[in-house]
A and B are shown apart, each in its own frame.
Chain A
Amino acid sequence: MKKTIGILIFLIGLIVIMNMPALAEDAMTGTAGTAVAGAAPPATPPPKAVTQEALDAVKSSLQVGIDTTWVLFTAFLVFFMNLGFAMVESGLCRAKNTVNILTKNFIVFAISSAAFWVIGWGLMFGNGNSFAGLEGLFFVSGADNSPAIGDTYKGVYTAINWTGVPLWAKFFFQLVFAGTAATIVSGAVAERIKFHSFVIFSFLLVGILYPITGHWIWGGGFLASLGMFDFAGSTVVHSVGGWAALAGVILLGSRIGKYRKDGSINPIFGHSMSMATLGGIVLWFGWFGFNPGSTMGVGDGSAIAHIAVTTNTAAAMAILSSTATSWFLQKKPDLSMIINGSLAGLVAITAPCAFVSVGSAAIIGLIAGVLVVLAVMMFDRIRIDDPVGALSVHLVNGIWGTLAVGLFAVDKITGTATGNGLFYGGGFKLLGAQATGVAAVGAFTFIASLIVWYVIKQVAGLRVSREEEITGLDLGEHGAKAYPDFQGFLTK
């Protein structure tokens, strides 16, 4: 009791002593205030004339501020998509592999952050040749005077000088996109890949492969010169992730028990449809950062509003068409197909979102929904085992979305001079550029990924052992089960 009182007195004393200077200040200003009030008031100078330069400076700094807020906010939404991917993937895979899938999704953004910072950004946006960036390669340290834009820009990241935000805002925004490409791979290779193999591959994907193809399209490389347009990354992000995943899945092989010897397919059920659904909605939400954010500027608001609506419309229509297709083909609407449908629509509208009308977005979404259901079935037919449908969503619809630009684009509909697509009187020029892009990125990414996966397979191993795959990767790779409690009292 005495001890408590003693401590209390000590603390109170301490608080009083610490506030002494403040108390003293108040006392002093009190006297000072009265002193000033006694003197005569000084004459006030006339207000300065407001010049045009002053107005421009204020407008400019406000513009940079609001654009940076936009870029960062949308980047945070895209970052949030990592959560969505983790939920969709773990929900659609078996409980015994949950810890492994969650770990892959959690670490992949850390890997992307490191790889893109060290070299990815430089390769993608540094000044260089048509193939890759060569200047300002490492640690985003090249000369740069962002947020200066256009002709006033002086630095080595000229390809992205059209957006008036600070360099780190540009970097962070592009980083979350690179992270999205890496996390696409984790779904397709789930339930049988060794953890360290995935980690190694992700470093190389985000550090080297993704930036190179990204340079071709967004970094001022040869595809940009050809007139290929990919607004938010159907090719740059989604099909790159898809091709890398396809290469991995081919070398990895299918899960044990997935395809029976007699040719029939064994459905391996996901363990948590709640998780998968919540993840799907989180991804849909995040896409409102992915697409509208790619303007990297607020402008007068009309572009970002247009893009938000094309994005949502495509998703909604894809959900309706994938539900209908799955209902027709499977006799009952399949939730996992519906979720895949929403993602397919979103991937498909990612390239065209700023270049097409809302009506075209609806059509693009409708087709995407049908494509994804057919693709899931097709991949199973040719015995390519994709537990979460990553290939059907990202690869197939990444290609569709890119080509859709060539079909549906309307010149300058939100400001960009893309030329008109095939259905709007532009002939085959734009479609040709889009197809070239799809083919070039596809060939490079697929072959390069195949080589990287193959080297990893020889050096570090690719697939877990048969026993480990059957017991579950949670125990094998991480020594911990995801749901130990559901087994009852396993330990003391």
Chain B
Amino acid sequence: MKLIVAIVQPEKLTDVKQALSEARVGKMTVSNVIGCGSQGGYMESYRGTFTEVNLLDKVRFEIAVNDDFVKPAIDAIIRGARTGKIGDGKIFVVPLEECIRVRTGESGTDAIG
């Protein structure tokens, strides 16, 4: 079992979700985050002064998958999120020790679904 953490551009949220559902990955958690990488920041001005803001809005997916779904999920995320420009995002694959379904108490690969 693996936990896929993907950071993507916010406007790609619906495209990534669509691609994932085509790859039969339907369970995920999405959150708004701010972050930075190679993408430069932007200048913000307010009442006569300027400042550089280099934490940018991103969207983060957390998807728990069984091992045979890892590659399809990653391909789907890339399909949905890639624009070719700096700032497209990153995907991390983290080993998942345990997964439990709250409603029934199942655990392991069955709980992931």
Interface residues of A (CB under 8 A from B): 257, 470-471, 475, 478-481, 484, 487-488, 490-491
Q: List 17 A-B contacts (CB under 8 A).
A: A470-B11, A471-B42, A475-B44, A478-B45, A479-B43, A479-B44, A479-B45, A479-B50, A480-B45, A480-B46, A481-B44, A484-B44, A487-B55, A487-B57, A488-B34, A490-B53, A490-B55
Chain A residues closer than 8 Å to B45, beta-carbon distance: 478-480
Chain B residues closer than 8 Å to A478, beta-carbon distance: 45
B23-36 near A? 1/0 per residue, CB < 8 Å: 00000000000100
Give the distance in Å from the alpha carbon of A296 to the alpha carbon of B14 in the complex: 54
Chain A residues closer than 8 Å to B104, beta-carbon distance: none
Q: Are B53 and A491 in contact (CB under 8 A)?
A: yes
Give the distance in Å from the alpha carbon of A488 to the alpha carbon of B55 in the complex: 10
Give the distance in Å from the alpha carbon of A257 to the alpha carbon of B43 in the complex: 26
- Which residues of B39-58 have CB atoms within 8 Å of chain A's CB atoms? 42-46, 50-51, 53, 55, 57
Q: Are B44 and A487 in contact (CB under 8 A)?
A: no
Give the distance in Å from the alpha carbon of A470 to the alpha carbon of B85 in the complex: 14
Chain B residues closer than 8 Å to A487, beta-carbon distance: 34, 55, 57
B55-88 near A? 1/0 per residue, CB < 8 Å: 1010000000000000000000000000000000
Q: Identify the closest chain A residue to B34 (Cβ).
A: A487
CB B9 to nearest CB in A, in angstroms, measures 9
Give the distance in Å from the alpha carbon of A262 to the alpha carbon of B11 in the complex: 19
Beyond contacts A475-B44, A479-B45, A484-B44: 15 other A-B pairs, Cβ-Cβ < 8 A, are A470-B11, A471-B42, A475-B42, A479-B43, A479-B44, A479-B46, A479-B50, A480-B44, A480-B45, A481-B44, A487-B55, A487-B57, A488-B34, A490-B55, A491-B51
Give the distance in Å from the alpha carbon of A257 to the alpha carbon of B13 in the complex: 12
Q: Identify the closest chain B residue to A484 (Cβ).
A: B44
Chain B residues closer than 8 Å to A257, beta-carbon distance: 11
Chain B residues closer than 8 Å to A490, beta-carbon distance: 34, 53, 55
Chain B residues closer than 8 Å to A470, beta-carbon distance: 11
Chain B residues closer than 8 Å to A475, beta-carbon distance: 42, 44
Chain B residues closer than 8 Å to A480, beta-carbon distance: 44-46
Give the distance in Å from the alpha carbon of A323 to the alpha carbon of B41 in the complex: 45
CB A233 to nearest CB in B, in angstroms, measures 38
Q: Identify the closest chain A residue to B32 (Cβ).
A: A487
Top 9 A-B residue pairs of the complex, sorted by shortest distance between their CB atoms: A479-B45, A470-B11, A490-B53, A480-B46, A491-B51, A490-B55, A479-B44, A480-B44, A487-B34
Chain A residues closer than 8 Å to B53, beta-carbon distance: 490-491
Give the distance in Å from the alpha carbon of A471 to the alpha carbon of B56 in the complex: 10
Give the distance in Å from the alpha carbon of A484 to the alpha carbon of B45 in the complex: 12
Give the distance in Å from the alpha carbon of A470 to the alpha carbon of B11 in the complex: 7
Residue of B44, B51, B57 with most chain A CB atoms under a 10 A cut-off: B44
CB A173 to nearest CB in B, in angstroms, measures 35
CB A472 to nearest CB in B, in angstroms, measures 9
Chain A residues closer than 8 Å to B11, beta-carbon distance: 257, 470
CB B7 to nearest CB in A, in angstroms, measures 16
Give the distance in Å from the alpha carbon of A484 to the alpha carbon of B50 in the complex: 14
Q: Identify the closest chain B residue to A475 (Cβ).
A: B42
CB A392 to nearest CB in B, in angstroms, measures 27
Chain A residues closer than 8 Å to B50, beta-carbon distance: 479
Q: Identify the closest chain A residue to B43 (Cβ).
A: A479
CB B51 to nearest CB in A, in angstroms, measures 5
Give the distance in Å from the alpha carbon of A488 to the alpha carbon of B57 in the complex: 12
Give the distance in Å from the alpha carbon of A283 to the alpha carbon of B8 in the complex: 41
CB A378 to nearest CB in B, in angstroms, measures 26
Chain A residues closer than 8 Å to B51, beta-carbon distance: 491
CB B79 to nearest CB in A, in angstroms, measures 17
Give the distance in Å from the alpha carbon of A478 to the alpha carbon of B43 in the complex: 11
Give the distance in Å from the alpha carbon of A425 to the alpha carbon of B11 in the complex: 59
Chain B residues closer than 8 Å to A481, beta-carbon distance: 44
CB B42 to nearest CB in A, in angstroms, measures 6
Give the distance in Å from the alpha carbon of A491 to the alpha carbon of B55 in the complex: 9
Give the distance in Å from the alpha carbon of A188 to the alpha carbon of B1 in the complex: 50
Give the distance in Å from the alpha carbon of A487 to the alpha carbon of B57 in the complex: 9
Give the distance in Å from the alpha carbon of A133 to the alpha carbon of B44 in the complex: 47
CB B92 to nearest CB in A, in angstroms, measures 22
CB A469 to nearest CB in B, in angstroms, measures 10
Give the distance in Å from the alpha carbon of A479 to the alpha carbon of B57 in the complex: 16
Chain A residues closer than 8 Å to B44, beta-carbon distance: 475, 479-481, 484
